[in-house]
Amino acid sequence: MLNIRKKWASSLLLRKIGWTLVIVMVYIIGRFLPVPTAAVNQELVQNFVNSNLLNNLATVTGARISSMTLFSLGLSPWMTTVIIWRFFTVFNLFKNQTQVQVYRYRMMLTLVIAAIQAFGLTASANLIEMDLIGIRGEGIALFFTMLILVSGSVVLIWLGNMNASRGLGGMTIMILANMILSFIENGVGFISEQSGFTMDLLGQIALFIVAYTLLVLLTVILYRGEYRIPIKRVGIHTSYNQKSYLPIRVTPAGAMPFMYGMTLMMLPAYLLNGLRYFYPENETLKEVASGLSLTQLSGALFYITLLYVLSIGFAYYNYDSYDIAKNMRNNGDYIEGVRPGKDTKDFVQRKVNSLAQFGALTVMLIGGLPLIFLVAQGAPDGSVSIALLINNAYIVSSLLLGVIEQVNTIQSWKQYKNVIYT
């Protein structure tokens, strides 16, 4: 026992793994913890939007709308806030505010978005009437249901921040856990619906394994592929100076366009479902929701457009040419044949532009081509849901690679321990 304690105290990686396991367990418990005041009306949701597709989209936010649970909203409010806040920063709307004020404003925006999404989800729920100081009605149950859902989302954001500081994977560990659990649930459900282990079923499973393996290999290649710009370092005249370079991933946005694209595709469903609470007989709302569904060509094209815009936006967010050029100047680094300052910024920007377009095209092919093909062929909704599995496989693989990189970084610190402490 003493050896275990010493190992735990001396190993940063073990402590991080321990924290992550505890946080994931708390998330799993909350994921299955039902909201006592309401239950999702699947018939109403099915009549308004395709609940299966919406559930598949929700997996990338850690949400679960097939049943009303504490974490039904997942990280969707936080992820939506990240996108909206990026537009605020582009226009420098909060440049004169302190970090504490900025954090407060971001949380306020997150709460507003969480309330809107909670209302949209609660609008399709069977509510249990409650009494509050003599007041009885559906409105009380609606308020408490929304309060529970918003509180669950806030707790999930807190868990994500806790994992970012003490564990592995940051916010995305809940998304990763939810997608893996959803994949297992869908797989078990698919097999249980079959009459038995026939040769056709085994052939389908084998085909899926092969296709998934190839997709994972493609993800690894794209994730690790990078364009290297050789740089020179002033004052360094060793052999390592010849190996210095500025790396830019060939897919600069990574899996973020899929994650945030699916998040944004859920917003119309929440908003329109909430509006239908006030206008239950309005057919226009139902037509708009149907047009934005991924089962329709218009919805699929809208989703692909989102993927392209987000791919470009996150590429520029991850690789800001101004910051890169400024840091190189401050560190005494330069690109041979390129003047420091504006010329370096323009040179890096051109490279980022090219790779951003390549990354956006790659994302559109992986995420959009199978979807367009199935929708154009008039495939059933289940086939369109299967098309989203390609997106999910890319996301899961990218998130796992990110966690592996973090583990490798922590492990590499051990090689420098004697140098630091001697």
State the burial class of residue 206 (Cβ atoms within 10 Å of its Cβ: 0-12, 13-18, 19+): exposed
Tell me the backbone φ, ψ of residue 2, rounded to 5 degrees: -65, -40
- Note the pLDDT of residue 398: 85
Q: How many Å apart are CA 153 and CA 79, to the nearest integer?
A: 11
Q: How far is CA 3 from CA 9, 181, 418, in A?
A: 10, 34, 21
- Note the pLDDT of residue 422: 44
Domain spans, the chain? 1-193, 194-422
- Average confidence (pLDDT) per 10 residues, the chain, 422 residues: 62 85 91 79 52 66 76 87 79 75 88 89 74 63 87 92 89 85 73 69 77 84 88 66 80 87 82 79 78 79 90 90 88 84 90 93 86 72 65 83 85 62 45
Fold agreement between 1-193 and 194-422: yes
Q: How many Å apart are CA 253 and CA 263, to the nearest integer?
A: 16
- Note the pLDDT of residue 399: 85
The domain 1-193: what is its CATH number? Answer: 1.10.3370.10
- Note the pLDDT of residue 421: 46
Four-residue CA torsion sign, 226, 231, 236, 237? positive
Q: How many Å apart are CA 282 and CA 124, to the nearest integer?
A: 15
- Note the pLDDT of residue 154: 92
Q: Which run of H or of E encompasses 137?
A: strand 135-137
- Looking at CATH, the fold of the domain delimited by 194-422 is given as Preprotein translocase SecY subunit (1.10.3370)
